[in-house]
Every structure is written in structure tokens, then in C-alpha cells.
A and B are shown apart, each in its own frame.
Chain A
């Protein structure tokens, strides 16, 4: 009981003491909260995107085969299909036709993809929801609806009007927003792609353990190809949203360092007044450890406040306001972007890391400089 009472007594004094410089301490908490808010926002965002990607791309093609010509991806001849199909373990090989289409009317790049369900429905398209609100023409920018016509321009400049027969669901926006699904016939008509070529090939294998062997055989038979495994796709998304790698860390570390300097200055530059107080406390019967305990509570009070508020606000920011502050970066130069609401995936380990990276150093930075003052001889007050 005595121990708890002591902690509470000393905490009482610490809080009274902090209350004296209310403005300064509140400003400090505010800045610290903001830094933690930014850090936590980045953590939440990247972790959720990563998690989402790892969930929904699990059903991406097991293997995609591209052909490279002079270092660039090029159309792949359909005759590769037969030779790849003959490799033991390959279950099926299918050509994909996809590419980018620039729509001069709306100034937007769309992803055009041939779809086998539309094979016999020449002249019809299915569009992603981003396309529907973006490609509406005219000043009013009315969203495109079912049975509207979108005029396409083919490779030779002639017009090809295609009728919207469906809009992909809003909830699939994260993967489909800029997508336009067309029939193979229309796709070849727009881009003048010869019938014996495809954009790339996707294949399924009987046993996923053999993927690497099959990929090796493909590159052996066709040295100009590049197989991309699903595992690599998943790994790419894992690496691409590693927040430590992004530029964001450069920007953030600027903020963090500025804060460290501020905190260091505040914590280390014990004022004459504070030193005098420590002397008084020692003289009237406080031990060195009591002084350090007081300083511990001081650092803990400031940094815990900032941690709780910063983390909570970051959660609201990312998952309830759809990362409104990151919007300029997320949209970037894009003309079309998904309006997705991220599913909140949070990682207790990350929150713990954030805790240890923010609360602990600040608390230590508060205690350490007072160490020296706390060991002054108590009689120094008598000589003042």
C-alpha cells in the first residue's frame, strides 16, 4: 500500500508541477501527438493495404508469362501457348489481352481488358465505377450509366461506339475502378493487335510446388519470356508498401528529428528554477530516486497522452475519413483513383512498436538529464 501511495503522492506533485507551465506543456503534447499521428497513420495505411492485397490477390493467376523485346514488354505470339502447355504439370494456358487506352475526351487513361464472357457480345462493354463517373462528357460530368454509349477511337482514328452493359460493383473498386472490359473482337479492333498475338499468358499448374521448375522450363524454351509467379505478386505488394522503404519515411523522419531536437532541448535544458526545485526537494527529504520517479511520471504523462491521442486520431483519419490528409499523395497525378474505404487491419505488434519508439525514448530523455541535478548535495539550497 505504501508503495502505491508513494507513487500517487509523487504523481500528484508531478501533475501540479506540469500544470504550472500549462501552455508550454500542452504545446509539447500537441506537437508530439501530431508526430505520432503521422507515424501511426502511415503504419495503419500501409499495413491495411498490404493485408488487403495479400488477401485478394491470393486468387491472382498462379503464373503470368510476359514476353520482353528490347527490354520492354511486348505482345506474345500465341504459338508459345502450345509449347508451354506441353510442359509437364501445366494444367491450362490462356492468353490475356489488356492494355491502356487514353480517352482524349476526359483526359484519362483506362485499363482495357478483353473478357471471355463478352466474347460473343461484340459492341458491349462492362466498366469499373471509376470509369463511369470519370468518362461522362461535357461540363456537367454526368456519370455514365447502363446502356449509355462510350465512343472509342481505334488505332486508325475511326470511331467505335461501345455500349455500357454493366458497371462493376462499388465494393470491388480497389481492383476494378479504371477497368473497361470489352470483347476480344473489339479489343483487337481498337489496338490493331494481330490475331496470333496476346498481351501475355496466364497459366494454371497442377501442383503449385512445381511452379519454379515450370517457370525455369519456360525461360529455357523461350528465353525472351519472363514468368511472374503469384508468390512474386504477393511479395511485391508486401515490399512496395513497406513504410520504411517509401519516401514517406524521409518526410516523416524530418518531422521526427525536429521533434527530437525540441524534446531534447526541453528535457535537457533544465532551467535554473528546476534545478533549484530539485535542490529544495532533496533538502526537505526526497531521495535521488524520488526525484527520478517524479521525472519518470513527467515524461510518461506527456508521452502517454500523445501516444493515446495520436494513435486514436490516426485510426479515425485512415479508416473513417479515408486518409483525407494523404489524399494529395494518394491521388497524385492520377486522374482516376478508387474511392475505397480501407478495411481496418491493425497489427498489435506495430502498435507496440510505435509505443516503444515514442513513449520510452521521451520518458528516458526526461529522466536522464535530471540525473545529474538529482545527485546534487542537498545543502546546495542552503548556500543559495
Chain B
């Protein structure tokens, strides 16, 4: 149990996806202008990351490895995840229209994204078991959501501050993200993995 808890915390905080591994930056800078959008995005990411890492684990261990097709890993993962997200979107549209109105658009945005592809690849590199990969995916997704929501709150505050003209917009957002990453740097080395 402790092992899984440590794995979760390590994925969520210590090796935070955005701030120490730089994955998913397009979403991180794109969605974080608005606090509400970033919460929906965070939830979408957590669910898709967990489901897609489960699916890719099954495919890797029951199809790719027995058939000796390991070198096709990247292609297969990308296609499987893209198809799965499309399917999920259709199902939600049909059966849960209210939910679809809230974050349907975010589902498609994350279909081909570094975070969603990154977690299955990390799992397969580390040779995790099924439960471990799921926990790792859950942790990574949570870490991404935490970072996104924190950053969105910071950026909303930033709108009221007087920023030098040439740094306004994207540049100051980068520098702010650097400061946030600096704070997260304090966690590094807390959980040896």
C-alpha cells in the first residue's frame, strides 16, 4: 500500500509532469488563462490519462510483446489513444449531453497530446505492472491538474499587475511558470524512486 502511495505522490508532486518534465505545455499555456476552463481541463486530463494508460498496458502486454512487435509501440499507442478519445467523445455526447456541454471540447483538445502519450510511454519504459501503471497515470494526471489550476489562479492575479510592455502576455507567463517550477523544485529528492 505504502509503495503505491509513494508512487502516486512521486508522480503528482515530486516529478510533476509540467513543472519538472515539461510535458503538455501547449495545454498548460493555452488553457490557463481562465480558472474554470482549467478545472474542467484538469478533470478531463485525469480521466483520459488513466483510461488510456490502462488500455495501452493491455495492448502492450497481450498483443505487442507476444507478437514481437515492440518496435511499433509509438505508432500503435498514438492511434489507439486517438481512436479511444474519439469514441469516448461520441459516447458522452450520446448518453451524457450535459457533461458533454461542459467539457466535450476539452476531450478533443487532448486527443493527441504529450501528456496523454507520455504517461503510457513512461509506464512501458519503467516496466510497471498493471496496477502500478494505473496508479502512476492517476498521479501524473492529478499532478497536471494541480499545476494547471495553481497556474491559472496565478495568471488571473497577473492581469491586475503592471508588467513591462515587451514582457506582456506569453513571456511573463513563461517567467511565472519558472517561478512555480522553482517552488516545485523544493520537493525534488523527497521520494527516492
**Are the chains A and B members of one assembly?**
no
